Amino acid sequence: MNRFIALFLLLATSVWIGAQAAESPHKPPQEQALDTQVESLKKSVLELNRELFILEEELLFPGNTQVSVFLSMDVGAYFKLDSVQLLIDDKELTNYLYTEREVKALQRGGTQRLYLGNLKSGSHELVAFFVGKGPHQRDYKRGATVEFTKGVGPKFIELKIVDSESAQQPDFTVREWE
């Protein structure tokens, strides 16, 4: 019995670093070498991905025709987002259904690139429908519209869901970025 108690105490009196007691972080050289190898590989693949990501964007969505639509959320207490339908010039571009995780990421301040595509220069109309649960868990669908001009450079549009404290309702705004 004493042996078990002593062994237990040795293990139990380790420091507390959060969700669990810490294990010794010291690693044998073989493991350290492998860690370095993995890290170096991750770095190389990340760099390659960066280059490919840029290449893909430049190739498929050149600056003179590129249009990006982003979605962000400020607080979101009056609206639980289920989906967003996006149309430009009456053509449906996406109808995106959100997971719980994605909604939380938006609520914490993340911005989703909802659409990336190409448009000719000139005037266009964007319409977005936001579907979800509004105040008192009622089904809620609202639209937001903006007319915008696509010039020679890339166009960025942000759809934003904000809480209107005065109206105790969600509000949906559209902002054009330079």
Partner 1 sequence: MPLSSRLYLLLMIWFPAVVAAAPQTQPGELKDLYYGEALYQLYQQHYFQAIVHLLSAQRQGHMQAYGDEPQLLLGGLYLAYGMPDAAEGLFQRLLNDPNRPAIHDQAWLQMAKSRHRRGQEARAAEALAQIGTALTESGQLERLSLEGLVDLERGDNQQALAALEPITDQERWGAYASYNRAIALLRSGQTKAGLEILERLGRQRAEDEEMKALRDRANLVRGYLLLESGQAAQGKTALERVRLSGLATNQALLGVGWASLRLHDPQGALAPWQELAKRDARDPAVLEVLLAIPYALSQLQADSQALDYYQQAIDRYNQEIGRLDQALRGIRQGRLMAALIPDSGKGRQAPAENDITGLLPLLLSKNRFQEHLQDYRDLVALQANLREWVDKIGSYRAMLQVRQAAYQAKLPRVEASLSGQTLASLEDAQAKLQQRFDQAKSPEEPPFILANDKELRLLARFDKIDRLFARIAPYQELPEQHEHARFLRGLLVWRTVTEHPARLWEAEKQLRELARALQQAHQQQAALQRAEHDSKGRVQGFADRIERLERQIPDLLNRVQRTQADQARLLRQMAEQALQGRKSLLHDYLIQARFGVASLLDRSSKTEAGGQ
Binders of partner 1 among residues 50 to 89 (CB under 8 A) are 50-59, 68, 70, 72-75
Segment interacting with partner 1 (CB under 8 A) among 39-47, 89-97, 126-134, 143-151: 39-47
User: CA angle, 116 as apex, 76 and 101 as ends, to 5°?
Assistant: 35
Sole binder of partner 1 in the list 96, 129, 148, 156 (CB under 8 A):
156
Quick count: other Cβ atoms within 10 Å of Cβ 34? Answer: 12
Report the residue number, 22 or 89, with the smaller CB distance to partner 1: 22
Is residue 46 part of the contact set for partner 1 (CB under 8 A)? yes
Q: Which of 87, 105, 127, 144 binds partner 1 (CB under 8 A)?
A: 105
- Distance (Å, whole) CA 162 – CA 172: 6
Q: Which is nearer to partner 1, 18 or 139 (CB)?
A: 18
The angle subtended at Cα 175 by Cα 173 and Cα 178, nearest 5°, is 175
35 forms part of the interface with partner 1 (CB under 8 A): yes
Q: How far is the CB of 68 from partner 1 (least distance, A)?
A: 7
- Select the residue interacting with partner 1 from 47, 92, 125, 165 (CB under 8 A): 47
Amino acid (1-letter code) at residue 171: D
Does position 9 bind partner 1 by CB under 8 A? Answer: yes
**With binding defined as CB under 8 A, does residue 95 bind partner 1?**
no
- Footprint of partner 1 on residues 114-133 (CB under 8 A)? none
Min dist CB 149 to partner 1, Å, is: 19
CB of 100 to partner 1, least distance (A): 10
